């Protein structure tokens, strides 16, 4: 049972691609080996910036021989048939066997595939893997045609068993596999040979290469935390940065330095972002003050001066960067002090939001109007919501956000506070972008909720108005995320919102900009599209509402509510009120989980089927006039009484939107309906009794459908 070791040695692999590449290498090679008839006990892959490594343990030494028999045409069959058989089997006539059967002699081909050595299979699989590796971006180099993420320099490929190590013969575009690799680029650049994975890992460690990315990350985290701790600081956790840094070094050496006194007054987010984005530094915080006071950098080498030169260089670069940041911060503060947030926002009139939808200023005006309208529905003061909408995007014009776009919103909060705006208005600068994804926090401050809803509805209606809807995997304006954001804002805050009305307002607010675009470019279709919105059929409205419903289904499915339950509730009036819709769906889902619920659905369906068939056959609608006096059976009379009681209970409960009570009342119908179907036949010969029973079924249908469209329920 040999072990296989593969190392693909290249120039520096981008850190962000290494994790995926490890997985791909493992999968492609092991899948290929298994497909070729080998088995293995275990496999693991590792990487450094310069190497991708796969170790496979307990590989079978050769694949099993395969014997296959194929039946051909009869002996003496037409020549063409025999030739066809020979072609398909790749054999000569004299290799075939003629076997006696019940209907005479028949040709048989016995194809024997001998077992193949692991060596030749590995060579074949590895070459295919290298040639077809799914790098997100790959390149050519020199005069060759091979593609790899960066130039590939060496392939180490050996099979090791108790007799020793054997190089797998392989040549990919002139790169010949061997048993040789190199250590750290600067600390141990010489080549050395290896005999197996353990030998390889041990020698690499001596050659200043820490092979396992997780160990590198652990090592970095451990040393960095210790360094911070020794200085009375705590390290700011950042898993993404840690993984990235671990992918940039083969021999991590942690160095900590102090941030210059001049820069300690900068907001911690600014320090952290600048250090992370530009220099991939970790931040160390003073737990007493919350200020970020030091940085941790990870070098890829050991030096005689224990990193003093490296640290000094890094500190110098940091000072230059933070001087820029400080300049931006002070400039921005001066702007808001002199001109206020609205002064900072003034330039947004000259920034295009979308050429068919006007400038950022135009967009903000629309958001302001919508926010004002939404405010009372979410418990916010309209004036505050409007003010928040006016300043929420002002920081897009700040120097700091120009440099660090990811600080949008965060800076707005600082600047709005500096401008003396109310806390609720300042907070909306950041919160109105939220929730940014399915796991991001949902704002709950009323002013923030109003602006966040207005912002997202404006975006959605705008792109709907100009027909830039998401298609398939393409969603360049993140409209799915915006719709999910609206859903989560509404549900998370229990907001009652007439969404159709707001969509309509949103759509109408865009038409002036579409017309202006049409005038400037001569593209008449945008004029027509504006007409359609203002005077035509509300197709965009129903289409966008359906989009919300689709996103809601996805959202509720993640919460464990079946799609047919949602469909049953969507068919009811008021389905643009998402809170109501979900309340109904939740009640229905709970109802369906009860024994009575499941059985009532069966009873309802039976009633509905009989009724529908009868209505089709008779060409009339049975919807009125069931009378207890025509009841022949006790079960019928009981059902009449039960329906009366249910109606009396359901109607006020529905009025009060108390779906659980309504459905509990409906559940009481289960026994009488079951008993009714047990005892009587609806389609009797007596026409009067039959009509009465059909009308009775129609009452069942009406009651059930008043709660939700149960015909949509599956099963």
Partner 1 sequence: MTPTRPRSFQEIILRLQTYWGDKGCAVLQPYDMEVGAGTFHPATTLRALGSRPWAAAYVQPSRRPTDGRYGENPNRLQHYYQYQVLIKPSPPDLQELYLGSLAAIGIDASLHDIRFVEDDWESPTLGAWGLGWEVWCDGMEVSQFTYFQQVGGHDCDPVSGELTYGLERLAMYVLGIDHVMDMPFNDPQSPIPLTYGDIFRQTEEEYSRWNFDQADTAMLLKHFEDAEAECERILAAPAEDKAGRRIVMAHPAYDQCIKASHIFNLLDARGVISVTERQAYIGRVRALAKKCADAFVATEAGGGVAA
Query: Angle at CA 140, nearest 5°, toward 139 and 146?
Result: 110
Residue 612 binds to partner 1 (criterion: CB under 8 A): no
Choose, by CB under 8 A, the member of 314, 427, 448, 493 that binds partner 1: 314
Residue 180 binds to partner 1 (criterion: CB under 8 A): no
Residue 61 binds to partner 1 (criterion: CB under 8 A): no
Contacts for 492 with CB less than 8 Å, ≥ 6 apart: 442, 444
Residue 331 binds to partner 1 (criterion: CB under 8 A): no
Give the pairing of strands 104-113 and 66-74. antiparallel
Nearest to 211 by CA among 165, 158, 247: 247
Residue 347 binds to partner 1 (criterion: CB under 8 A): no
310 or 662, CB closer to partner 1?
Answer: 310
Q: Per CB under 8 A, which region of 227-235, 296-304, 374-382, 497-505 contacts partner 1? A: 296-304
Residue 684 binds to partner 1 (criterion: CB under 8 A): no
DSSP symbols for 233-281:
-EEPP-HHHHHHHHTT-SS-EEEEEEPPGGGTTS-HHHHHHHHHHHH--
With CB under 8 A, what is the number of residues at the site for partner 1? 43
Choose, by CB under 8 A, the member of 155, 158, 217, 248 that binds partner 1: 248
33 or 275, CB closer to partner 1?
Answer: 275
Residue 316 binds to partner 1 (criterion: CB under 8 A): yes
Residue 317 binds to partner 1 (criterion: CB under 8 A): yes
153 or 637, CB closer to partner 1?
Answer: 153
Contacts 24+ apart (CB under 8 A), 343-347: 344/394, 344/395, 344/397, 344/398, 344/415, 345/390, 345/391, 345/393, 345/394, 345/397, 346/397, 347/397
Q: Per CB under 8 A, which region of 70-78, 206-214, 295-303, 587-595 contacts partner 1? A: 295-303
CA 681 from centre of chain: 54
Residues 182-201 that bind partner 1 (CB under 8 A): 186
CA atoms within 13 A on the CB side of 589: 17
Residue 303 binds to partner 1 (criterion: CB under 8 A): yes
How far is CA 643 from each of CA 75, 238, 450, rounded to the nearest angstrom?
Answer: 80, 62, 44
154 or 340, CB closer to partner 1?
Answer: 154
CB 238 within 8 A of CB 276: yes
Residue 613 binds to partner 1 (criterion: CB under 8 A): no
Q: Per CB under 8 A, which region of 1-9, 160-168, 300-308, 468-476 contacts partner 1? A: 300-308
Residue 320 binds to partner 1 (criterion: CB under 8 A): yes
Residues 100-129 that bind partner 1 (CB under 8 A): none
Choose, by CB under 8 A, the member of 90, 92, 142, 522 that binds partner 1: 142
Q: From the CB of 312, what's the least distance to partner 1, in Å?
A: 8
Residue 153 binds to partner 1 (criterion: CB under 8 A): yes
CB 702 within 8 A of CB 686: no
Residue 141 binds to partner 1 (criterion: CB under 8 A): yes
208 or 691, CB closer to partner 1?
Answer: 208
Q: According to DSSP H, which parts of 36-136 are helical?
A: 79-89, 118-131
Buried/exposed code over 522-536 (b: 16+ C-beta within 10 A; e: otherwise): eeeebbebbebbeee
Q: From the CB of 438, what's the least distance to partner 1, in Å?
A: 29
Q: What's the CA gap between 552 and 489, in Å, rounded?
A: 12
Choose, by CB under 8 A, the member of 4, 6, 15, 483 that binds partner 1: 15
Strand ranges (DSSP E) for 125-170?
152-161, 164-167
Residue 220 binds to partner 1 (criterion: CB under 8 A): no
Nearest to 322 by CA among 281, 287, 289: 281
Q: From the CB of 320, what's the least distance to partner 1, in Å?
A: 6
Buried/exposed code over 124-135 (b: 16+ C-beta within 10 A; e: otherwise): bbbbebbeebeb
141 or 229, CB closer to partner 1?
Answer: 141
Q: From the CB of 479, what's the least distance to partner 1, in Å?
A: 21
Choose, by CB under 8 A, the member of 301, 579, 594, 638 that binds partner 1: 301
Q: What's the CA gap between 398 and 548, in Å, rounded?
A: 34
DSSP symbols for 411-435:
HHHHHHHHTT--HHHHHHHHHTT--
Give the pairing of strands 3-10 and 51-57. antiparallel
Q: From the CB of 392, what's the least distance to partner 1, in Å?
A: 21
Residue 355 binds to partner 1 (criterion: CB under 8 A): yes
Q: From the CB of 123, what's the least distance to partner 1, in Å?
A: 23
Q: What's the CA gap between 577 and 671, in Å, rounded?
A: 34
- 435: cis peptide before it, omega within 30°? yes
37 or 151, CB closer to partner 1?
Answer: 151
Q: From the CB of 79, what's the least distance to partner 1, in Å?
A: 50
472 or 476, CB closer to partner 1?
Answer: 476
Buried/exposed code over 265-283 (b: 16+ C-beta within 10 A; e: otherwise): ebbbbbbbbbbbbbeebbb
DSSP 288: T
Residue 12 binds to partner 1 (criterion: CB under 8 A): yes
Residue 519 binds to partner 1 (criterion: CB under 8 A): no
Q: Per CB under 8 A, which region of 345-353, 444-452, 549-557, 561-569 contacts partner 1? A: 345-353
Q: From the CB of 405, what's the least distance to partner 1, in Å?
A: 15
DSSP symbols for 483-503:
HHHHHHHHHHTT----HHHHH
Site string for partner 1, 255-294 (x = CB under 8 A): ------------------------xxx-------------
Q: From the CB of 462, what's the least distance to partner 1, in Å?
A: 17
CB 75 within 8 A of CB 107: yes
Q: From the CB of 299, what's the least distance to partner 1, in Å?
A: 4
Q: What's the CA gap between 533 and 363, in Å, rounded?
A: 18
Q: Per CB under 8 A, which region of 6-14, 338-346, 426-434, 526-534 contacts partner 1? A: 6-14
Q: From the CB of 11, what's the least distance to partner 1, in Å?
A: 6
- Specify the DSSP element, H or E, that contains 452: helix 446-465
**What is the length of the chain?**
715
Q: From the CB of 244, what's the least distance to partner 1, in Å?
A: 10
Q: What's the CA gap between 189 and 178, in Å, rounded?
A: 17
Binding site for partner 1 (CB under 8 A): 11-12, 14-16, 49, 137, 139-143, 149-151, 153, 186, 248-249, 279-281, 297, 299-301, 303-305, 307, 309-310, 312-314, 316-318, 320, 350-352, 355
């Amino acid at each position: 049972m040999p072990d296989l070791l593969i190392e693909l040695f290249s120039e520096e692999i981008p850190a962000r691609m290494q994790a995926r590449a490890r997985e791909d290498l493992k999968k492609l090679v092991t899948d290929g080996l298994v497909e070729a008839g080998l088995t293995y006990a275990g496999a693991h892959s590792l990487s450094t910036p310069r190497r991708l490594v796969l170790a496979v343990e307990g590989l079978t030494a050769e694949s099993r021989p395969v014997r296959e028999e194929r039946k051909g045409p009869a002996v003496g069959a037409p020549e063409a048939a025999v030739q066809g058989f020979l072609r398909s089997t790749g054999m000569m006539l004299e290799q075939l066997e003629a076997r006696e059967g019940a209907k005479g002699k028949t040709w048989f081909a016995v194809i024997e595939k001998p077992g193949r050595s692991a060596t030749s299979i590995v060579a074949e699989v590895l070459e295919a893997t290298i040639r077809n590796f799914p790098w997100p971006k790959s390149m050519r180099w020199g005069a060759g045609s091979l593609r790899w993420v960066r130039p590939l320099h060496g392939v180490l490929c050996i099979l090791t068993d108790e007799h020793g190590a054997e190089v797998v013969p392989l040549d990919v575009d002139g790169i010949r596999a061997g048993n040789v690799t190199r250590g750290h680029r600067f600390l141990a650049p010489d080549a050395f040979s290896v005999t197996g994975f353990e030998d390889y890992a041990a020698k690499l460690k001596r050659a200043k290469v820490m092979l396992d990315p997780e160990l590198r990350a652990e090592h970095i985290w451990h040393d960095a935390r210790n360094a911070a701790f020794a200085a009375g600081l705590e390290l700011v956790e950042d898993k993404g940065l840690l993984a990235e840094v671990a992918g940039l070094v083969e021999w991590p050496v942690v160095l900590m330095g102090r941030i210059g006194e001049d820069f300690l007054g900068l907001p911690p987010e600014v320090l952290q972002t600048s250090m992370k984005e530009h220099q991939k530094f970790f931040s160390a915080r003073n737990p007493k003050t919350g200020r970020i006071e030091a940085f941790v950098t990870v070098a890829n080498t050991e030096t005689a001066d224990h990193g003093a030169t490296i640290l000094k260089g890094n500190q110098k670069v940091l000072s230059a960067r933070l001087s820029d940041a400080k300049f931006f911060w002070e400039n921005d503060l001066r702007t808001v002090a002199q001109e206020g947030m609205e002064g900072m926002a003034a330039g947004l009139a000259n920034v295009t939001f979308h050429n068919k939808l006007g400038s950022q200023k135009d967009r903000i005006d629309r958001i302001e109007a919508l926010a004002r309208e939404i405010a009372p529905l979410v418990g916010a003061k309209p004036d505050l919501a409007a003010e928040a909408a006016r300043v929420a995007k002002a920081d897009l014009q700040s120097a700091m956000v120009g440099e660090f776009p990811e600080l949008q919103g965060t800076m707005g909060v600082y600047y709005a506070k500096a401008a003396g705006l109310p806390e609720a208005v300042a907070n909306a600068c950041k919160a109105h972008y939220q929730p940014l994804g399915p796991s991001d926090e949902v704002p709950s401050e009323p002013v923030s909720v109003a602006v966040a809803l207005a912002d997202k509805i404006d975006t959605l209606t705008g792109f709907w108005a100009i027909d830039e809807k998401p298609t398939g995997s393409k969603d360049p304006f993140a409209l799915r995320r915006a719709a999910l954001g609206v859903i989560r804002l509404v549900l998370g805050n229990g907001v009652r919102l007439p969404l159709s009305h707001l969509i309509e307002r949103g759509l109408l607010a865009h038409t002036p900009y579409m017309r202006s675009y049409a005038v400037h470019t001569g593209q008449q279709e945008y004029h027509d599209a504006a007409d359609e919105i203002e005077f035509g059929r509300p197709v965009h409205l129903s289409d966008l509402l359906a989009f919300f419903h689709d996103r809601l289904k996805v959202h509720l499915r993640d919460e464990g509510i079946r799609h047919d339950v949602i469909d049953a509730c969507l068919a009811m009036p008021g389905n643009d009120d998402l809170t109501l819709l979900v309340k109904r769906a939740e009640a229905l889902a709970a109802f369906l989980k009860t024994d009575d619920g499941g059985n009532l659905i069966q009873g309802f369906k039976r009633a509905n089927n009989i009724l529908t068939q009868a209505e089709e056959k008779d060409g009339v609608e049975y919807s009125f006039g069931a009378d207890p006096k025509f009841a022949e059976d006790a079960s019928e009379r009981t059902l009449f009484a039960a329906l009366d009681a249910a109606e009396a209970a359901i109607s006020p409960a529905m009025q009060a939107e108390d779906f659980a009570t309504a459905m509990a009342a409906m559940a009481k119908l289960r026994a009488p309906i079951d008993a009714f179907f047990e005892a009587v036949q609806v389609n009797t010969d007596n026409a009067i009794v039959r009509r009465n029973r059909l009308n009775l079924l129609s009452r069942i249908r009406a009651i059930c459908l008043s709660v939700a469209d149960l015909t949509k329920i599956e099963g």
